Amino acid sequence: MSRRMRYETVKPGALRCGRILLGFEVEPLSRRLFCHVRACRELVALMSEDFETDFNVRLCVAPATTSRQQLDSAFFAPFPATTSSSQRQHQQSEPAMMLQHQSKHHRSTLNPVIDEEFVFDLQDLWLHAAQFRLHVAVVCSAPIDQDDTGCAGCLSMGLRHVLGGDVAGPKWYWLLPKAEGMCKATTIKHQPATLPSQRETSTALASLPDAVVVGGRHPRRPFAKINGVYDRQVDEVSASRPVYRHRDNGLYLWFHEGRRAWLISDLVRHPAPYAYAEDAAVNPGRVQQPWFVFNRAETFTTADTKRLQTSHISSTTPSLNDGMSLLSHHDDHHNQMMLSGMPPQQQQRAPAAQFEYDLAVRCRAFA
């Protein structure tokens, strides 16, 4: 049995606002803490296409006794805030806040690359680290939380644990809702994932395509954005299978273990997919079953070839165990879609007359 590593599964009912990659370095002699904010992923608050806002990442060291009201006004407040990348010292107007930084502003980006380092001078706090906490938050320029703050996800950890090296990174952390994130930090753990040992599966895993190209969705049909190049995410798997991300718009191609199907959606484990194929293939390039694509009528339409155009599937597909419902579907020759992860020389292209749109789909080397 071969083994890989995967992200832990989020338990039902657990709310997550996204992920953030943090790294910490401590200089005991100078009593300084270096915090490296590398990137964020899947910022749920920015998923809506109708909602556009600036946001940044903020960090602060505050006494553990700081009240929620004080943090709301001094840390989670929407813009304008402190000068970018500056450290703010204790002031009478903000008795609870000791040190604060914030990153540059970003604009409505689900997966921003921050790559900024911040330095906390802890000369006055070093011997009292147990009495302070480090807060990290993504804050928007517009109020988005129920209490009119700009908090789009946060986390908090004891300063003593940070200085003691207990959270040395870089590590991925969950961004949590404010009520939960103000008092804890949760790392995204990796768990061993056991894979089948059959010869065919092992061979397929050994030659996983670094990228797949989804093609065939007519550009004038709903959700044509599923077409394009999907790159394999080397640090993430779903149900022992690779996860792919659209190179341009950030959609994810992943395997749903409960449904035994490949899905295309905004996020991994998102409950509302744009397309799916009920096939347990070890990678999407080996899917043999027809794809179904969501349309404006709120039904899934087949992505099979034109020969199925006149057939009618009247059965209702059962709901997924995570709340995703797949409604009744009908055949539509506009919605033909195929995936291929095979090398170009091994592909067998179907006659163009069978398809409404070009299905020249192939596996590309990772760029």
Query: 265: which 2 tokens?
Result: 């959606």
DSSP 106-126: EES-SS-EEEEEEEEE-TTTG
Domain that holds residue 91: 3-190
Q: Are 149 and 71 in contact (CB under 8 A)?
A: no
Q: Are 211 and 230 in contact (CB under 8 A)?
A: yes
pLDDT < 70 stretches in the chain: 1-15, 46-51, 79-98, 108, 145-147, 168-169, 190-207, 295-367
Query: 224: which 2 tokens?
Result: 């044509």
Q: Are 38 and 114 in contact (CB under 8 A)?
A: yes
The reply to whether 152 and 18 lie within a common domain is yes
The reply to whether 221 and 358 lie within a common domain is yes
Instruction: Render pLDDT for 25-43 as a digit per residue (tens, 0 to 9).
Output: 899 999 999 999 988 888 8
| Total residues found in the chain within this entry | 367
In angstroms, what CA-CA distances link 148 with 12, 70, 72, 144, 183? 27, 14, 9, 6, 20
Please give the pLDDT value at position 141: 82
Query: Where does residue 164 fall: left (phi above 0), alpha (psi -120 to 50 degrees), or beta otherwise?
Result: alpha
Question: What is the DSSP secondary structure assignment for residue 205, as one 8-state letter?
Answer: H
Please give the pLDDT value at position 58: 92
The reply to whether 223 and 282 lie within a common domain is yes
Please give the pLDDT value at position 272: 77
The reply to whether 22 and 143 lie within a common domain is yes
The reply to whether 23 and 157 lie within a common domain is yes
Nearest partner of 309 among 333, 292, 329, judged by Cα: 333
Please give the pLDDT value at position 323: 37
Please give the pLDDT value at position 329: 32
Please give the pLDDT value at position 41: 84
* Mean pLDDT across the chain: 70
Q: Are 136 and 20 in contact (CB under 8 A)?
A: yes
Q: What is the CATH number of the domain that holds 21?
A: 2.60.40.150
Query: Where does residue 85 fall: left (phi above 0), alpha (psi -120 to 50 degrees), or beta otherwise?
Result: left
The reply to whether 48 and 174 lie within a common domain is yes
The reply to whether 167 and 252 lie within a common domain is no
Question: What is the DSSP secondary structure assignment for residue 337, as one 8-state letter?
Answer: -
Please give the pLDDT value at position 164: 86
Q: Spell out the residues 6+ positions from residue 137 whose beta carbon is closer than 8 angstroms to its own.
A: 57, 58, 75, 76, 151, 152, 153, 154, 155, 178, 181
Domain count, the chain: 2
Q: Which of 156, 190, 224 is the last residue of a domain?
A: 190
The reply to whether 241 and 156 lie within a common domain is no
Instruction: Render pLDDT for 158-186 as a digit per residue (tens, 0 to 9).
Output: 999 999 877 766 888 999 988 899 899 98
Q: Which of 171, 190, 209 is the last residue of a domain?
A: 190
The reply to whether 238 and 139 lie within a common domain is no
The reply to whether 177 and 212 lie within a common domain is no
Sign of CA dihedral 270, 8, 145, 46: negative
The reply to whether 267 and 176 lie within a common domain is no
Please give the pLDDT value at position 60: 92
Q: Are 228 and 249 in contact (CB under 8 A)?
A: yes
Nearest partner of 137 among 42, 60, 209, 199, judged by Cα: 60
Q: Which of 148, 165, 190 is the last residue of a domain?
A: 190
Does residue 28 have a cis peptide bond before it, meaning omega lies within 30 degrees of 0? no
Please give the pLDDT value at position 169: 66
DSSP 137-182: EEEESS--STTS--EEEEEEEEHHHHHTTTT-S-EEEEEB-HHHHT
As to burial, measured by CB atoms within 10 angstroms (0-12 exposed, 13-18 middle, 19+ buried), residue 107 is exposed
The reply to whether 202 and 181 lie within a common domain is no
Please give the pLDDT value at position 363: 33
Q: Which residues, in sequence order, are bridge partners of residue 275?
A: 264, 293
